[in-house]
Structure 1
């Protein structure tokens, strides 16, 4: 049985927990001091440390699911994606965890609360392109994020960072453990593609839907789901007409109609035309 963690605890004889940074559907992220690096004079010794939440930590395969998230993200080397450090187990507490870079900035969902009318185009476009760059890279590496939402995007002076691959899957590597969708319902309804909520498998086009909903909310100031399911979304006031067709296609409720890729959405928002017909 795992022992609950608290601020001030020393993990694996090396990491001292300072405070909780965030609590998600599956895990808890702490800010921690790496005491080993401090001993060697490392000036930046703070890391982010993730463990599973109490409701998941008692599952027999919980540590395997945590390792799956770490394994998915550790090969992703992109300025717009959080960087993983290492996976370890505190044997005394029987608690698995992994460490990653400590990101500085504000989560996008908190920033959006300060912008109830949405972001203006000249602020929105660079942020949108950076987010799409990161997700396009992730897809290019054969990884699906699975939970693209404002709470999993960090906004800092250095730019946008995408994190939390807890619901992700690999298209390139087989044999990694996955989340049992029948046992655990962890999708965020406001940003999850309709087919995921109906029990379909995660796909690249589901990620497209999620990021499109995030971009729409950033521009419009309200969620795309705040409308009737049969009603087409209105064009955000800040969004030029020349790129609206691409974003609207990415938000198609029917996955068979959602044929646009993340890279094609990026091209459209950068000013290049996107052909909606074959």
Structure 2
């Protein structure tokens, strides 16, 4: 795809298929190739090109930078840095709820990622455990901003909502104005899942469910899950509040079982000599 050699299939989503690729300089990359039916929609292609231009400006420690794209190709594609590691979804499926120190580091990393994304005028719209990669150095947010490119196409489909139910803010479900506050709501839900507070059984009182989280995290998450988007904190406010708690994130943020899972992902994607 372009000048990138595809070596393995990493996954598939509503926008297309993601492959592990190798650059001409032998660097591993993630290559997302748009689905054929979307590629044939001229309005989608224009939106996709605009979003690629926007996400290329996003930097920071906790995202996967965009390094290349082919927006004019028959099947548009996007290349990002490849982060070796499982998704948070995979971690939670195999390990279960994470310890408080890990959830705290996750919260700080996700808030810092959203701060950088929002600073570029981008709303993620689909923050969820499968869009968070767990790496040695901390969490990395992927697929930021690209969900918006599908909006016009999505609206032609019956009952289609951009995003993932269970992580959507109320205004995303009711057709209200979308602001960066939708990402704050999703951030809160991601932490609920990571800390074992979610999914919520029917009839659960939110304040009771959040007691499984440390007190300062519980307060922040509770504010993120407010029905009124105006009452949700910004990423900068989240960072300030968690920094005031005085507890520092550990250098080794992963429990042993999860670190082993990360190491397996790293080993599985090391190219063979001469490959």
Q: Give the root-mean-square deviation of aligned CA atoms.
A: 2.5
Higher relative contact order (CA 8 A, sep 6+): 2
Per-residue CA deviations over 1:113-148 (Å, capped at 9, x if unaligned) read 1233x1111221112111111112222232211111
Q: Distance in 2 between matches of 1:272 and 1:236?
A: 17
1:198 is aligned to 174
Paired residue secondary structure (2:241): helix
**Alpha-carbon distance change, 131 to 89 in structure 1, aligned in 2, over 3 angstroms:** closer
Q: Distance in 2 between matches of 1:160 and 1:242?
A: 20
2:103 matches 1:124: yes
Contact 1:115 1:221 in 2 (8 A): no
Q: Could you list the runs of 4 or more consecutive aligned residues of structure 1 that deviate by over 4 angstroms after TM superposition?
A: 166-169
2:32 is aligned to 50
Contact 1:105 1:154 in 2 (8 A): yes
Q: Distance in 1 between matches of 2:120 and 2:4?
A: 31
For residue 155 of structure 2, the aligned residue among 182, 186, 197 is 182
Q: Distance in 1 between matches of 2:94 and 2:238?
A: 26
For residue 237 of structure 2, the aligned residue among 264, 274, 277 is 264
Greater helix share, structure number: 2
**Alpha-carbon distance change, 144 to 191 in structure 1, aligned in 2, over 3 angstroms:** same
2:62 is aligned to 80
1:61 is aligned to 43
Q: TM-score, length-normalised on structure 1? A: 0.77
How many residue pairs get matched? Answer: 242
Q: Distance in 2 between matches of 1:104 and 1:272?
A: 31
Paired residue secondary structure (1:248): helix
Contact 1:73 1:84 in 2 (8 A): yes
Per-residue CA deviations over 1:147-190 (Å, capped at 9, x if unaligned) read 11111110110211111025556xxxxxxx67225225332111
Q: Distance in 2 between matches of 1:141 and 1:89?
A: 20
1:241 is aligned to 215
Q: Distance in 1 between matches of 2:14 and 2:171?
A: 20
Mean Cα deviation higher: 46-55 or 141-150: 46-55
Give the deviation of 1:237 after TM superposition. Answer: 4.6
Contact 2:31 2:77 in 1 (8 A): yes
2:126 matches 1:147: yes
Contact 1:72 1:168 in 2 (8 A): no
Mean Cα deviation higher: 100-109 or 245-254: 245-254
Q: Distance in 2 between matches of 1:194 and 1:135?
A: 19
2:91 matches 1:102: no
Q: TM-score, length-normalised on structure 2? A: 0.78
1:159 is aligned to 138
